[in-house]
Chains A and B, each alone.
Chain A
Amino acid sequence: MKSITRQKSLEQIERGLSDWARVFIVGCGTCTTATMTGGLEQVLEMKEQLEKMDKWVSGWTVIPVACDEMTAVSIEEHGRAIADAGCVLAMTCALGVHRLNQYLERPVVPALDTLFIGVEETPGCFREVCGQCGECVLGETAGICPVVTCHKGLVNGPCGGTNRGKCEVDKERDCAWSLIYARLKAQGRLQAMRNYQPPRNHHRMPRPRVTRLV
């Protein structure tokens, strides 16, 4: 499982940093390293880019797992350089930004857009397979999630836009319901597709979502 990110444009990053001349950069050794959006190499490239924008980079680090509590330790190690900066530029996913905000008083500016939580299907290819909807229907859809795999999130079968197994929004993308149909058929479970699915409960767990063990 990975948090999938994409770098914002340099213009957007420059706008985000416009209030500060001195910046500390944080990358992440896990997801953004795997997606090459916030690993060591990208952090060093960003340093160069920021210098071209006339920023002074007071320091940088790549935290092993930016979203976990060990982040506090890394922050402390770099306390001096961070104190020298006006803000921290986070090349982590939004979970990392969140974590950094927990430990830092300095403003944290995201350099990346967090797109989805995905699994690596083939090397370098990540796919969103679950949108954490709170009401899982995978048991009736042959393990293929219609909520995130179907462009429209339809739960009662394909729309009229499905075409030779592809989705109406993009001829290159599989239609979720063609996949679900083929798999249910192979499993001899087409009956599952005939079951009426009622309108989904969008507030199974109302936002903000929090759970506590025990």
Chain B
Amino acid sequence: MASRFRQALNSSEFVVTSEIAPPKGINLETMTHHVDLLKDRVHGLNVTDHQSSVMRYPSLGGCLLIKERGGEPILQMTCRDRNRLALEADLLFAASRGIQNVLCLTGDAVPVGDHKEAAGVFDLDSVQLLKAIRELEAGRDLGGNTLDGDVEFCAGAIVTPEADPLEPQLIKFEKKVEAGAEFFQTQAIYDLDNFASFMEFARQYPVKILAGIVLLSSAKMAQYMNNNVPGIFVPQALIDELAAAVAAPDAPKGAGLAKGIEIAGRMIREIRENRLCDGVHIMAIGREEVVPDILAAAGMADWQPTGRIV
């Protein structure tokens, strides 16, 4: 049966997903709190897979937790740490436990993380992983052997609409579509005009696009991202807006974050009202508890993710 998330993607509803970062260690209290807070507010929750190559509690474990608490997990899977056997086996495990949504990523490079001497595997890449998923669905593994029991996945990937140069990313986007991606989460976007022109391109393909919304908490963070995070471009006007929010003499503590929530909400509202794409993926990076505030700022305080069969 199609996953709840896939049903939402194929409904006419505006899709909202968010992201949960597993802890370093087995104290799952905070993660559980975030899952409980968000599971009924969104169509699906991504669990990151050793994001930025920092070793953490596994994505599969986080997805099981979401499942146990009645939420809809989206398994992030990178190609950095596992060869094709291990990736296939984890996909079988996920399928056997009702985890059917998979986001396929290449994975960050090992040296950017906290296990700098580890081997980077990259036996498959994101395109090959997507294809592997469709092979498993056809009843075969990558060794060409028959599988006992059917699996079904809603598989997606990442695209970076602000990449410079853009064309190589678009070529890879096409390869991912051909390999079987049915949905895409974008890298953070801030310039909606730019995004609209990307959507003109993406609309040619039979895939759903979720715009990546990364919460900004200060002008400094925005500047840092511009200088250091590939494919992210925060326009100067937004940086000025964030700076002005804390510069006011009567600015309360947390004014920067409040402004960031307002900006994220405003963008979601605009995307949703103008139907720029099929939905949004909200990344609050360490501040998952403010996702409901972002939805409220988007005018979605009472909104319920319904595009699913309960």
Contact = CB atoms under 8 A, between A and B. Distances in A.
Contacts of B167: 181, 185, 190
B106 A159 contact: yes
Contacts of A169: 109, 111-112
A159 to B, nearest CB: 4
B230 A160 contact: yes
Interface stretch (A41-49, A124-132, A146-154): A146-154
Contacts of A155: 125
A118 interface: no
Interface stretch (B60-68, B170-178, B289-297): B170-178
Interface string B49-93: 000000000000000000000000000000010001000000000
Contacts of A200: 123
A202 B122 CA distance: 12
B165 interface: yes
B70 to A, nearest CB: 32
A168 interface: yes
A194 B171 contact: yes
B230 A152 contact: no
B231 A190 contact: no
B168 A177 contact: yes
B165 A196 contact: no
Given A151-B109, A152-B109, A181 B172 contact: no
Contact of B230 (A162, A190, A199): A162
28 contacts: A151-B109, A152-B107, A152-B122, A152-B125, A154-B106, A156-B175, A157-B171, A158-B172, A159-B126, A160-B106, A160-B158, A160-B169, A160-B187, A160-B230, A161-B109, A162-B168, A163-B164, A163-B231, A165-B165, A168-B109, A168-B230, A169-B109, A178-B165, A181-B165, A193-B168, A194-B174, A199-B124, A202-B123
Interface in B107-144: 107-109, 111-112, 120, 122-128, 131-132, 142
B308 to A, nearest CB: 29
Contacts of A153: 122
A198 B80 CA distance: 17
Nearest to B122: A152
B163 interface: yes
A204 interface: no
Given A160-B160, A162-B230, A199 B142 contact: yes
B179 A154 contact: no
